[in-house]
Structure 1
Amino acid sequence: MTLEELHVLFLQYPSICTDTRKITKDCIFFALKGPNFNGNKFAKAALKKGASYAIVDEEEHSTSERCILVDDVLETLQKLATFHRNKNTARVISLTGSNGKTTTKELISQVLSRKYKTIATKGNLNNHIGVPLTLLSIKPETEIAIVEMGANHQGEIAFLSSIAQPDFGYITNFGKAHLEGFGGVEGVIKGKSELYDYLIPNNKYVFLNADDPIQQEKLGSYINKSGYSQENHQYYTISFVSANPFVVLEMENMRIETQLIGKYNFSNCCAAVLMGKYFNVPLSEIKIAIEKYQPQNNRSQIITKNGFRIIMDAYNANPTSMQAALENFELMETDNKTLILGDMFELGQDAEKEHQSIVNLARNKGFTHAFFVGENFFNTETSFKKFKSFDDFRKHLEENPLKTGNLLIKGSRGMALERVLDLL
């Protein structure tokens, strides 16, 4: 079956499934493989559960006329996604960066949806499987598709760009994330800039934070761009007003009062404003969209429980976002502050240095109450309380319950620090 024939079939059955536990009637099941699973073995079950067809790449599992045998299922999914993307008129915006990708994507989606039929990456399905699935969710009526692209190694953004073939691009920032995979900060900059490496030679449009020196250097005299800035008036001027705790920004004498905490979310809001302006969304509609947006999934959420006011930022962490969170917490005009910080993963040989830096920062910022959880933090030199595991921390809290106050809870996803809520 040719790619074009497969696409015709997809238009008849425009629902893709890669997990037999989530089969929907008349979907097409793609039998993906992973280190610990082989989707080919579940093709028969997928058809039995209601899938219209199963795409397989092992002949022994092509047991029905509704099984379509291909050379490589993943490659077929990716090529089908690009083919579908090019068969539709939707304009594609791709974004990547070290921090803030998902929040920025959600904000852009909220803003552009005020005027256009818009689809966006669901959750953080931003890898070599998630990007194709997002592209395949484009409908004939879709006008704008917002595609989040994540990576932890060089070459991944280049590959995802070749699949999505974006018309527009934005990089949130270059931070200390996935240092192990990228090979240090310079590797991060090179890896994330692969989006520029696709956009610029193809004369595609770039949005930028003009106050970011790396972005300014990378884009140089490239003409096909627009940016936002607090001070450089050759770009669209957006002013930071405050973040105590919620971010307030102002442009064209209009104030936007968000439900996002932390100054680090200012640039995320600015990107959404900039794209709204570019796509001619009225400023009054941009204001409504951003002010209505509420963060979810443990991303900078404020939670009130049993006398505690909690900044729950336990979805992920790296040295850059951890530093920003501490700086924001320090500036909050409130007393009785306590830090509960968990290990930051994927830092490789920099892990010891970066965890010690965060401990030192907490001390230098004047915090007096802090708990550090995880093996990396346990190996730091500090007078703060530290625990090798969450279970050790749990036992401590059970014996020494926290009193009411303001908490910042932040750590990498694998630490699952949202479990602290059950202990308050």
Structure 2
Amino acid sequence: MHTSTTSTTPLEPWTIEQLQEATQGHWYHGRVPHVSVKRILTDSRHAEKGDVFLALKGEKFDAHQFITQVAENGCEIAIVSQPVDADIYQLVVADTRLALGDLGAYRRQKNAQLKVIALTGSSGKTTTKEMLGSILSRLAPTLITRGNLNNDLGVPMMLLELRAEHQYAVMELGANHQGEIDYTSHLVQPYVAGILNIGTAHLGEFGGREGICRAKSEIYAHVDVHGTSIIPAHDDFSDEIRQAVKTEKVASFGEGGDIYATEVQLKPQSVIFCLNTPLGNRQINLPFAGEHNVQNALAAATFALALDIGLDDIVIGLENAKNAKGRLDFIHHKNHLFIDDTYNANPTSMRAAAEVLAQQDGIRVFVMGDIGELGNSAAQQHYMLGRDLVSIKGLNFVVVVGEFAPAAQEGARSTQYGKKMQAFLTQEQALPLLLDLVKTHQPQSMSFLFKGSRYTHMETLLADLMENI
């Protein structure tokens, strides 16, 4: 199993006794190592002397086949679910995937001083996590979920990075199957936890938004009894979410909530708003574009307030927060603006991104790749997106690329603005049109926004266009 998001910070070492205690495994042939352990890895390419290689097994891969190779590279210990014929100490466990969870949970329990903030939702998780990380990491050492390490493998891998000096951990929890958030919330043991929203991401796996709501609501079963549950006040599923809460303390954000925004002024690349809280009000100059980011900032403020963080610190943290790469990244190049929002996509975030583009200058071109994990509703969701995107005032052209581009185009043609949209099955087919648009509109400046699900790699088309204009 390869993951490219590896940490460079030195990790806290493990003892041989701790490895066995955490996993409840046994040493193969009774051979117990007497070596120090600096880190536990699942990536065979980086395993070396002092490391423990944990051999994961999935539907399409089995890392047990790399054990001989890691042994040759000097790695002396492997955690396995079935012993292999290799010159390496082997800690045998029932299931290496669950053993990874056990190791993460063990490390979490050993850091009793830690306050964990866990958040989930259909969209805005990464941005809210970055905003909250910006608030907390100014005040004390804080562990923050990196990249997309938010699933049943990524969450325990993040927990392995906990060190004694950490006071906070901001953990993003994702779900693409029922029970996953129940599992990861149990591992992280949050003091404050909540749902940002119930959208339409992963519709396929959950069979509808009710299923998504049930899956996300699993987070509330694991909040510390003295902690706080955070809920969105203005969501279609707010009532169902509230019913899932188990703690006495509850805080809500958004319209009609405990923490809400007024006097919102949308600027092309930022937002100014008044943050209203039970502790008082403050003006926020948020360096993020789009009304949806006001919601993310309100959520981050609500989580922070539940940790007794002062309002002044919340303002400084929000105003100095930075976007994750590929999240509404503004790039100026040759008189044109390119907005890189290619990190990922779902129908809600796609519409929000289009609203951000509509605020920009010049000729505005929205370039959309397919959205994945929508199951049977994929064609219908793309149809509705096509219909809605061309209807947004301020978008001059919408270019759709991918398997579901024809469905989006059908949606566009159901409106009077159908001519705004061009559909292509591949990026190679779309590039000449984009180049032609630039040529046709010279010397006017243009604003492009690129977005699609991770697997579509829309950043490739963005790079190709910038290179060729």
Question: Shared topology, TM-score over 0.5?
Answer: yes
3-state DSSP of counterpart to 1:334:
coil
Does structure 2 conserve the Cα–Cα contact (< 8 Å) formed by 1:126 and 1:149?
A: yes
After TM superposition, give the deviation of residue 248 of structure 1 in Å.
2.2
**What is the TM-score of this pair, normalised by structure 1?**
0.90
The one of 65, 71, 74 aligned to 1:47? 71
Partner SS for 1:68: strand
Cα distance per residue 1:350-372 (max 9 Å; x no partner)? 11111111111122224331211
What amino acid is aligned across from residue 407 of structure 1 in structure 2?
F
Aligned partners of 2:48 and 2:70 also within 8 Å = no
Establish whether residue 167 from structure 1 lines up as the match of residue 191 from structure 2: yes
Distance change in 2, residues 1:114/1:70 (3 Å): same
Partner deviation per Cα, 1:286-308 (whole Å, 9 max, x = no partner): 22222222213211111111221
Distance across 1 between alignment mates of 2:84 and 2:396: 63
- Note if 1:350 corresponds to 2:391: no
- Show the counterpart of 1:259: 287
Structure 1 residues 256 and 173: CA distance shift in structure 2, 3 A: same
Decide whether aligned partners of structure 1 residues 78 and 418 sit closer, same or farther in structure 2, where only a CA change above 3 A counts: same
3-state DSSP class of the match of 2:237?
helix
CA apart distance, 1:333: 5.6
Do residues 360 (structure 1) and 391 (structure 2) align?
A: no
**Letter of the 2:427 counterpart:** F
- The AA in structure 1 aligned to 2:431 is R
Helix, strand or coil: the match of 2:372?
coil
Q: Which of structure 1's runs of 4+ aligned residues deviate more than 6 A?
A: 1-4, 8-11
Give, as a single letter, the amino acid of the residue that structure 2 aligns with 1:260. Answer: F
1:406 aligns with 2:447: yes
- Structure-to-structure mapping, 1:239-250, within 5 angstroms: 239=262, 241-245=264-268, 246-250=270-274
**Which letter does structure 2 place at the counterpart of 1:411?**
G
Residue of structure 2 aligned with 1:103, choices 115, 124, 127? 127
CA 1:229 to 1:354, structure 2 compared with 1: closer, same or farther past 3 Å? closer
SS of match in other structure, 1:280? coil
Render the CA deviation track for 1:232-287: whole Å, top value 9, x for unaligned: 5xx23443522212122323453221221111111211122223333233333322
Q: Which letter maps to 1:224? A: K
Q: 1:78 aligns with which of 101, 123, 130?
A: 101
Q: Which residue of 1 aligns with 2:416?
A: none
Amino acid at match of 2:20: E
Q: Equivalent residue of 1:187, what SS?
A: helix
Q: Are 2:56 and 1:32 equivalent residues in the alignment?
A: yes
1:203-222 Cα shifts (integer Å, max 9, x gaps)? 75212232335235422586
Tell me which amino acid in the other structure corresponds to 2:251. Answer: S
Pair 1:390 & 2:419 matched: no
Number of residue pairs the alignment of both structures matches: 419
Q: Which of 357, 365, 368 is the matching residue for 1:329?
A: 357
Who is 1:21 aligned against? Answer: 45
SS in 2 for 1:375: coil
| Closer/same/farther in 2, CA of residues 228 and 399 from structure 1, 3 Å limit | closer
Correspondence for 1:422:
464
Task: Look up the match of 1:141.
Answer: 165
Bigger drift between 191-200 and 352-361 goes to 191-200
Please state how far the C-alpha of 1:174 moved relative to its aligned partner.
Answer: 0.5
Q: Equivalents in 1 of 2:267, 2:329: separation in Å?
A: 14
2:405 maps to what in 1?
377
Normalising by structure 2, what TM-score? 0.82
Give how far 1:43 is off: 2.0
> Is the Cα contact below 8 Å between 2:363 and 2:396 reproduced in 1?
no
> Are 1:5 and 2:20 an aligned pair?
yes
In 2, Cα distance between equivalents of 1:203 and 1:290? 26
Instruction: Give the percent of matched residue pairs that are identical in Structure 1 and Structure 2.
Output: 32
- In structure 1, the partner of 2:118 is 94
Do the aligned partners of 1:340 and 1:370 also contact (CA within 8 Å) in 2? yes
8 Å Cα contact 1:131/1:149 also seen in 2? yes
Question: What secondary structure sits across from 2:373 in the alignment?
Answer: coil
CA offsets per residue over residues 13-49 of structure 1, 9 Å max, x none? 2422111222355222111122333212222322333
Q: Relative to structure 1, is the Cα distance of residues 185 and 237 closer, same or farther in structure 2, using a 3 angstrom cutoff? A: closer
Q: 1:277 to 1:387 in 2, by over 3 A?
A: same
Q: Offset at 1:385?
A: 1.1
**Counterpart contact for 1:261–1:301, Cα < 8 Å:** no
Answer yes or no: is the 8 Å Cα contact 2:213–2:241 preserved in 1.
no
- Deviation string, structure 1 residues 328-360 (Cα, Å, up to 9, x no partner): 333x16342111111111112111111111111
Cα distance change of structure 1 residues 70 and 2 upon mapping to structure 2, 3 Å threshold: farther
Given the alignment of the two structures, is residue 297 of structure 1 paired with residue 325 of structure 2, yes or no? yes
Given the superposition, is the C-alpha separation of residues 57 and 63 from structure 1 closer, same or farther in structure 2, using an over 3 Å criterion? farther
Are the counterparts in 2 of residues 10 and 28 from structure 1 also a CA contact under 8 Å? no
Letter in 2 for 1:414: Y
Flag the 1:35–1:197 CA change in 2: closer, same or farther, 3 A.
same
Measured against aligned partners, the alpha-carbon deviations of 1:43-80 in whole angstroms (never above 9, x if no partner) come to 2322333435221222224533x322222221211112
Kindly provide the amino acid, as one letter, of the partner of residue 346 in structure 2: N
- 2: distance between equivalents of 1:144 and 1:197? 20
Counterparts of 1:72 and 1:2, CA distance in 2: 19
SS in 1 for 2:147: coil
SS of 1:345 mapped into structure 2 = coil
> How many Å separate the matches in 2 of 1:413 and 1:160?
22
- Unaligned stretches of 5+ residues in structure 1: none
SS in structure 2 of the partner of residue 257 of structure 1: strand
Q: 1:214 aligns with which of 237, 240, 243?
A: 237
Structure 2 gaps of 5+ residues are 1-15, 24-32, 414-418
Q: Which moved more, 1:160-169 or 1:215-224?
A: 215-224
Q: Secondary structure at the match of 2:127?
A: helix
